[in-house]
Structure 1
Amino acid sequence: MAVRRVPADYRTIQEAVAASGPGDTVRVTGGVYTGTVTIGPGRDGLAVIGSGPDNVILQGEGEEAGFAITGSARVTLAGFTVIGFLNGIQVATSDNVIRDMVAADCIDEGFDVLPDASRNLFIRVLSRNNGGEGIEINGAANWVIGSEFESNGDDGIDINGEGNLASENRASGHFRGENPAGITMEGNRNLAVNNRLVGNRWGLSTDAAGLLVFGNVMSRNSELGALFQDAADSLVLANEFSCHGEEGIHFNGATRIRVILNKAEENGTEGFELSSNTTALVVDDNEVKGNGLGGIRLTLTARDDVVRRNELEENNPDLLNEAPADAGNVLDENDCETSQPPGFCC
């Protein structure tokens, strides 16, 4: 194994990578470098380490990816700012570590994880002002932790694969694109844990199944805190939905979702809305206060939902059940002052 230095030993980063073998390290000192860096086969365990994203800039001209991990696994990338490529960092293999990296002003994604890429760790990365997603994950079982996503052209974090984790991230300023959100989850069995989703169009959006959405703060998004559109079989636990322009959380055609121990406060319309054939939800032990319209609203087509032991106050009204008498909804032991029709508060 060897340590190869740029520019002391090699003029470009790509030349140093091409000369490296498995387990080698490429060290890059401060400066502005150009050209894409491709890490192909035969370099498992390679580490490419810059002296810090404030010091080392990889500058592109709108083509290809800044760094492309295409044929080797267990690669480490750290300590670069990547600017102006088609994609910032593209990962096609597994078990890599991408840390302390900045991807900015790229035409498409800041970070792009391809379908066969799994078990990759992205930690302490920043994706800012890219034309597409801050990070797009199409593979399975990848982890995005402790990172920031700011003002990208579509979603901050877009998860299409299965079994991925987004935790301790912050996503803000996502208003462009079609229905942009701080986090969008279209793959099943993904986890969003302890993220801050603030100042986007939507905080979180999903149409998937088998999700865990736990401990997230969604605040001051221009429309919705969260949208569960045709989502199913998931747990929404101990999140905060506050100060959104519309609903705190909107279930549209959702089924078999447990909504437990959340807070929905000071949203522009409803705290929770269950609409468009939303069925078999369990909405228990939530705190719903000071919303502009209903605290918890079940529309005419909500069926077989359970709403129990919630604490509601200063909503208009606290509980609203528009469904007909035979809809099978159960509203029990809710601590509230107003309901339509009357009689659902205790």
Structure 2
Amino acid sequence: MRGVGIEVNEEKVGRTMEVDEKSVSGTRFCLLLSPDRMRGSLCLRLERFRPRLGSLPGRRQRVCAQRRSPRARRETSPARWRLKRMSPSPAVVVLALLLAQHPSADTLRVPLDYTSIQEAIVAADDGDTVLVWPGTYNERVDFLGKAVAVVGREGAQVTVIDGGGSGPVVTFGSAEPPGARLEGFTVMNGNYNVQLRGGGILCSAGATPVLIHNIVSDNVANYSGGGIACLGSSPFIIANTIVRNRARPFGAIGDGLGGGIACDGGAPTIVANVIEENIAGGTGLSGGGGIACYGGSHPRIDNNAIRHNVAWSTYGLAWGGGVFCTDASHPNITGNSLLENHVQSQTVEEGGAIYCFDSSSPLIRENAIRGHTSGSGGAVHTSNGSEPTLVLNNIEGNDPYGLVNDEPGVTLCAVNNWWGAVSGPYHPETNPGGDGDPVSDGVAFAPWLASAERLVFVRGWPEACRVRQGGDLRVELAVFNRMPGFQRFWFVTSVDLPGGASFGPLAGPTPLMLLPDGMMSGILGHAIPPDAPTGLWTYHASIGIPPHDTLDHAQFDFEVTAAVQRLLRSRSLDCLFPSP
């Protein structure tokens, strides 16, 4: 795996800005980057993932930015690094890029040209963009199998689709391809009052749409998928906020699965979302307050904040407050914050963070699993033929157990994890001196980590997988801190050209700092030279501590095409999230 190391030129000087915490949260800034051949600006959004762990209001934090060396100031302009508010909004940037790359595509404006979003979709052809002005649109939207991008012009905070409680708010039910895109909306008030699934967004029949930068909130589904239901489909669910949704039983007696997201078959990609305060509740089995995986699904659950979700049952089973895996499902659960999820029932309540049941064996790697409660089980609980693998996780502060194995004759692999204490997890026979989270019988936990794994990650994806010579490559980058303390790091990007030559650094090294359990994201723009070589390029983003300590590295491929070549809006996202 190639990439630029974290190295700092002695001439470059760090500068520190004092920023009041309340003014930072949810704020966007722009950092002007190197004016070399591939120029750009990095727009940063700082968010508090978990205010309960923060300090008192008004406490001053530090955000670091870099300025140029004296020689660079003589040669280039502007003279130093500057911070300013980002303009235009991300949705406008996305639209500008799409129009630049697809001159033959039409833009249908709502409400300027069409009175409703659905009316514009009916009139649209594959490759068109439906651009929606701010406002509340009281309607339900069906993409009708079309590869259409529906974009909120000013973003999700001010552009709302209200379903009126009459069914799923947005439907992808006709094998929509990745060219179908929903971006920049609040999707709310969906309520499926029949025995089907999907309150806010319903994806079915093999659909693979892109759902990005939306707020999916306050939706209800009978049975499963209060926020989003993926039924035999594989959508790309990227950088959304999925909050206060509920999956409840159909009728007086029944199950509730996947308050935030339900995956029934398929392979959804669930990356960089905030999934919080969702509820899976019923009178029978309730599982997956945040996410439920069943029907043989194998989703990628990567770098999400899954917190404060609840699975509860009045008389039955409450399993998996954060994530529930059953029915031979095998998700890849990597790099997430699972924080303070909960299960509650009058009978059985197990798996505050994750419950694995019925031959479901996920890989659980590099997650922060903290602060979970369950009446009789562990933060991670497994039974009935399930054999998850746990490695390089920080498992601490859970009650009453960190990990419970209820499968007789099976030994779980849970080595190289941090259990909250140097002495390792507590087990009355095999490690009675352990002061960390307790584990049950049937757990192979040695060796364990003597200190917490440093869980700091970078993820990146382009807004299009093809760029023409002379065009703009726009990359969304996100850095995640899964630790309870502040994390300082440096950031740098580069590219590999066709043929293997490397070019960079494009941006950085730039010093930054993340809040506890926080993230930083933004859009980095690069101008592709008119004479750039055509073919497959590889983009690298690395974070670390100088000179040689690389914390994480992300990469993706994109294609540079000839300036005269017409680009089709296939929008395949294979380049965005290759298999881990």
Instruction: Identify whether the pair has TM-score above 0.5, normalized to the shorter chain.
Output: yes
Q: Secondary structure at the match of 1:53?
A: coil
Q: Tell me, what secondary structure is at the counterpart of 2:121? A: helix
Q: What residue in structure 2 maps to residue 68 of structure 1?
A: 171
- Contact 1:38/1:67, CA 8 A, preserved across alignment: yes
* Paired residue secondary structure (1:246): strand
Match for residue 339 of structure 2? 198
Write the letter of the residue equivalent to 2:213.
D
The answer on whether the counterparts of 2:356 and 2:388 sit within 8 Å (CA) in structure 1 is no
Q: Distance in 1 between matches of 2:276 and 2:321?
A: 11
Q: Which amino acid aligns with 1:124?
A: A
The aligned runs of 1:178-327 (5 Å cut-off) are 178=313, 179=318, 180-186=320-326, 187-201=328-342, 202-207=352-357, 208-223=359-374, 224-253=378-407, 255-265=410-420, 271=425, 289-291=434-436, 295-298=438-441, 308-310=446-448
Measure the CA separation in 1 of the matches of 2:439 and 2:143. Answer: 52
Report the CA distance shift for 1:289/1:49 in structure 2 as closer, same or farther (over 3 A).
Answer: farther
Q: Partners of 1:172 and 1:209 in 2: how far apart?
A: 22
Shift of 1:148: 0.9
For structure 1, the residue ranges without an aligned partner over 5 or more in a row are: 275-282, 313-346
Change (3 A) 1:33 1:215: same
Matches of 1:215 and 1:88 in 2, distance apart? 30
Residue number among 45, 48, 54 corresponding to 2:157 in the alignment:
54
Counterpart in the other structure of 2:72: none
Structure 1 pair 228/176, CA: closer, same or farther in 2 (3 Å)?
closer
Query: Counterparts of 1:76-91 in structure 2 under 5 Å?
Result: 76-86=181-191, 87-91=199-203
The one-letter amino acid of 1:27's match is: L
Question: Which secondary structure state, in structure 2, belongs to the residue aligned with residue 264 of structure 1?
Answer: coil
% identical equivalent positions: 20
Provide the alpha-carbon RMSD of the alignment. Answer: 2.7
Q: Separation in 1 of the partners of 2:426 and 2:123?
A: 58
Q: Is the 8 A contact 1:168 1:195 kept in 2?
A: yes
Aligned length: 289
Distance 1:28 1:273, change over 3 A: farther
C-alpha distance in 2, partners of 1:182/1:194? Answer: 14
Pair 103,247 (structure 1): closer, same or farther in 2 beyond 3 Å: same
Distance 2:274 2:165 in 1: 23
| Alignment CA distance shift 1:238-1:204 (3 Å) | same
Amino acid at match of 2:182: L
Matched-pair contact (CA < 8 Å) for 2:353–2:379: yes
1:148-174 deviation digits (Å, cap 9, x = unpaired): 111111210111242211010011112
Measure, in 2, the Cα distance between the counterparts of 1:33 and 1:243. Answer: 44
What is residue 325 of structure 1 aligned with on the other side?
A: none
Contact 1:83 1:103 in 2 (8 A): yes
Residues 17, 39 of structure 1: 8 Å contact kept: yes
Return the alpha-carbon distance in structure 2 between the equivalents of residues 263 and 232 of structure 1: 22
State the alpha-carbon separation in 1 of the partners of residues 321 and 187 from structure 2: 24
Match of 1:320 in 2: none
Amino acid in the other structure paired with 2:435: G
2:171 aligned counterpart, secondary structure: strand
Q: Is the 8 A contact 1:24 1:47 kept in 2?
A: yes
| Aligned equivalents of 1:59, 1:167: Cα separation in 2 | 29
- 1:240 Cα deviation (Å)? 1.4
Question: Is this contact kept in 1: 2:426–2:436, CA < 8 A?
Answer: no
What TM-score does the superposition give when structure 2 sets the normalisation length? 0.47
Alpha carbons of structure 1 residues 265 and 13: separation in structure 2 relative to 1, 3 Å = same
> Equivalences for 1:129-208 in 2 at 5 Å?
129-132=244-247, 133-154=259-280, 155-160=289-294, 161-178=296-313, 179=318, 180-186=320-326, 187-201=328-342, 202-207=352-357, 208=359
C-alpha contact (below 8 Å) 1:210/1:233 kept by paired residues: yes
Aligned partner of 1:76: which letter?
R
**Deviation readout 1:281-334 (Å, 9 max, x if unpaired):** xx9xx9x94247xx5553xxx5xx75644579xxxxxxxxxxxxxxxxxxxxxx
Q: Secondary structure in 1 aligned to 2:353? A: strand
Which whole-Å CA distance do the structure 2 matches of 1:146 and 1:309 have between them? 30
Q: TM-score, normalised by structure 1?
A: 0.76
Does the CA contact (< 8 Å) of 2:160 and 2:187 recur in 1? yes
Structure with more contact order per residue of length (Cα contacts < 8 Å, sep ≥ 6):
2
Contact 2:415 2:444 in 1 (8 A): no
Q: CA 1:99–1:218 in structure 2 vs 1: closer, same or farther (change >3 Å)?
A: same
The amino acid across from 2:260 in the alignment is G
- 2:282 is the counterpart of 1:128: no
Deviation at residue 138 of structure 1 after TM alignment? 1.0
What residue number does 2:118 align with? 14
Q: Which runs of 5+ in 2 are unaligned?
A: 1-104, 192-198, 248-258, 281-288, 343-351, 451-580
Change in CA separation of 1:163 and 1:121 when aligned onto 2, cut-off 3 Å: same
Query: Matched residues in 2 for 1:307 and 1:54: separation?
Result: 45
Give every structure 1 segment of 4 or more consecutive aligned residues whose post-TM-superposition deviation is greater than 6 Å.
none
* Alignment correspondent of 1:103: 216
In structure 1, how many angstroms separate the alpha carbons of the residues matched to 2:446 and 2:173?
51
Change over 3 Å in CA distance of 1:273–1:26 after alignment to 2? farther
